[in-house]
Amino acid sequence: MTATEKSTSAPRRLQWMTATVRDVLDETPRVRSLVLDIPGWPGHRAGQHVDVRLTSEDGYQAQRSYSVASPPEAPQVMLTVERLPDGEVSSYLAGDLRVGDSFELRGPIGGYFVWIAALGGPLFLVGGGSGIVPLMAMLRHRAAASSQVAATLLYSSRTAADIIYRSELDRLAGKGDAFRLVHTLTRERPSGWTGLARRIDRAMLAETAFTPEASPRIFICGPTPFVETAATHLRDLGHTAHLIKTERFGPSGR
Amino acid sequence: MNGPPISRGFRGRGRGSDASARVPPGQHLVTDFPVLSAGPTPPADLANWRFAIDDGDSPVGEWSWEQFNALPQTDLTVDIHCVTTWSKLDTSWRGVTIDALLEAAGLAEPPGPFALIHCDGGYTTNVPSEDLVDGKAMIATQFDGEALDPEHGGPARLLVPHLYFWKSAKWVQRIQFLDSEVPGFWEENGYHIYGDPWREQRYDGD
């Protein structure tokens, strides 16, 4: 990492704020986006995350981290949450929570897995499942900032029904502004599917990534084995380790 | 005074167990071992592996993999706490305590009050020297009786279990003792300079 990417903000305590749900959007059968009103929200950069804290009626609290899905330019903060089978917090956020409900949140957090348009590109984004969320914030930021930086998203989903933000991604890819969208599905090949249908591998990364000579800024987010695979292949293909930024989540990581 | 908003219908599962006294505020227990790293996992290369201790810019000790494994080994079973809110109890490690390393380097105590830990890939983290000695920290090469997996920091990682786990830096190569405190990688990126889980020192200013 270079000095220009270091956080220069003065130390400040991250205060717990109250987020009120303005809207909920069902993205897929297991994934829901929450559009939040957060008085006092200080703004964020694409790729950062927040800590969410829930309090039950008897005072029990549980805390987890979630990536911000919205770009800095959006009027409201959006989180996108995948409901995990055993998810103490995710099953509430992407299940019981209703418009008008409130919970605590603090952030933004993280100055590393961040892209701002001024950093330039090219930009190579690799997402697995709900690992798309911080990458979507970057793509939304790129669009909102009218950045012409060449960008490619390689996005692995289990099935077509599991693709998060599908229509918005199609719309961004249709603008003809140097954004390339590559889907791959790992558990089905629906009739009429023209995209890739296998787990990410070295050949897929070699074909979709920019060349190492182009020095793309690479952001990889997804489950641990997915991130390990992508990062290792990209390094072996000749991409510089310090340009490869990763964010992983295990079964309990969020 | 208003309390936090109550999440209607949220019950949670984490309370009431015998282990709860061992779980710091804001943490929850896991039984698996999640992986969090900022970049690619470096390939293990034991033939060229070195571990060094520096006093400022002067090397005071260096060990090859064989030499390192010939040092007195210590077993440690500890609870670990990640800033991303998971905690894992009774994790078993084997390695060389920082005390033993200092002794092997002929030093009675750390040559400076602050330590900057350097790792493969350029990652750094800072720890006060007093948090590394008296059996509180080691360079770990085994987890659960097995060689430490590369994605968990193998061949060797620092283990400072009483601080948030980002301080237990993976792929450790060098401890540099310094006269003043130099913030490491996450510490430059908004995380707490010290990182005590029992005081919930997650972020700058906590």
Q: Domain range spanning residue A8?
A: 3-109
Task: Report, as an integer, the average pLDDT of B70-83.
Answer: 96
Last residue of a domain, one of A84, A109, A134: A109
Asked whether residue A73 is domain-assigned, the answer is: yes
> A148 and A105, same structural domain?
no
Look at residue A225 and tell me if it is in a domain: yes
Domains defined along chain B, listed by start: 48-199 (3.90.420.10)
- Which residue among B3, B14, B33 places its CB closest to the CB of A62? B14
Query: B204–A12: do the CB atoms touch at under 8 Å?
Result: yes
Q: Looking at the structure, do residues A240 and A131 belong to the same domain, yes or no?
A: yes
Q: State phi, psi for B89 to the nearest 5 degrees.
A: -95, 150
- Is the pLDDT at B19 greater than 80? The verdict is no
- Are residues A104 and A155 located together in one domain of the fold? no
The CATH number of residue A178's host domain is 3.40.50.80
Which residues neighbour A196 within 8 Å (Cβ) at sequence distance 6 or greater? A182, A183, A184, A185, A204
What CATH number is associated with residue A26?
A: 2.40.30.10
Average pLDDT over residues B4-17: 77
Residues A185 and A78 placed together within one structural domain of the fold: no
pLDDT of residue B189 exceeding 50, the answer is yes
Which residue in A63, A126, A245 has the most chain B C-beta atoms within 10 A of its own C-beta, making it the best mutation to test that interface? A63
Min Cα distance B11 → chain A (Å) is 6
Least confident of A9-23, A29-43, A179-193, B132-146: A9-23
Residues A128 and A238 in one domain: yes
The pLDDT tens digits of the residues spanning A80-113 come to 999 988 888 999 999 989 999 999 999 999 888 9
Asked whether residue A79 falls in the same domain as residue A194, the answer is: no
Instruction: Summarize pLDDT for A188-230 with one digit per residue, the tens.
Output: 999 999 999 999 999 999 999 999 999 999 999 999 889 999 9
Are A51 and A162 contained in the same domain?
no
Last residue within a domain, chosen from A109, A136, A167: A109
Q: Do B84 and A254 touch (CB under 8 A)?
A: yes
Q: What is the pLDDT of residue B155?
A: 95
Report CB contact under 8 Å: B189, A55.
Answer: no
- Complete DSSP assignment for B45-107: -TTT-EEEEEETTEEEEEEEHHHHHTSPPEEEEEEEE-TTSEEEEEEEEEEEEHHHHHHHTT-
Report the residue from B12, B27, B35 with minimal CB separation from A248.
B35
Prediction ipTM score = 0.78
State yes or no: pLDDT of B17 exceeds 80.
no
Residues A93 and A147 reside in one and the same domain: no
- Which residues 80-109 of chain B have a CB within 8 Å of chain A? 84-86
Write the single-letter amino acid at B188: E
* Chain A residue whose CA is closest to B40: A231
Separation of alpha carbons B204 and A12, rounded Å: 7
Provide, as residue numbers in chain B, all residues whose Cβ is less than 8 Å from the Cβ of A112.
38, 185-186, 189
Do A163 and A215 share a domain, yes or no?
yes
> Does residue B183 belong to the interface with chain A, where contact is any CB pair within 8 Å?
no
Let me know if residue A254 belongs to a domain.
no
Sign of CA dihedral A95, A98, A101, A105: positive
pLDDT (tens digit, 9 = 90+) per residue, A45-90? 999 999 999 999 888 899 999 999 999 999 999 999 999 888 889 9
Residue A13 within a domain: yes
Specify the higher pLDDT residue, A18 or B43.
A18
Report if residue A143 sits inside a domain: yes
- What are the Cα distances from residue A204, in Å, to A155, A200, A213, A233? 11, 6, 18, 10
Contact B39 A231 (CB under 8 A): yes
Residue of B nearest to A103 (CA): B5
Q: Which residues make Cβ contacts (< 8 Å) with residue A50, sequence separation at least 6?
A: A65, A66, A68, A77, A79, A105, A106, A107, A108, A109
Closest-CA residue to A186 (of A203, A207, A206, A200): A200
How many domains does chain A fold into?
A: 2
Within-domain flag for A147:
yes
The confidence score (pLDDT) of residue B163 equals 97
Higher pLDDT, B40 or B81: B81
Last residue of a domain, one of A52, A85, A109: A109
Output phi, psi for A240, to 5 deg.
-70, 130
Residue A24 has pLDDT above 50, yes or no: yes
Same domain for A126 and A213, yes or no, is yes
What tens digit of pLDDT does each residue of A125-136 get? 999 999 999 999
pLDDT at A250 over 60: no
Domain check: are A79 and A200 in the same one? no
- Compute the nearest-CA separation of B34 from chain A (Å): 5
- A126 and A78 share one domain: no
Residue A190: per-residue pLDDT: 92
Q: Which among A11, A54, A57 has the least Cβ separation from residue B205?
A: A11
CB contact under 8 Å between A111 and B189, yes or no, is yes
Residue A164 lies in a domain: yes
Q: What is the mean pLDDT of chain A?
A: 91
Element (H, E) at A64: strand A61-67
Residue A78 is assigned to a structural domain of this protein: yes
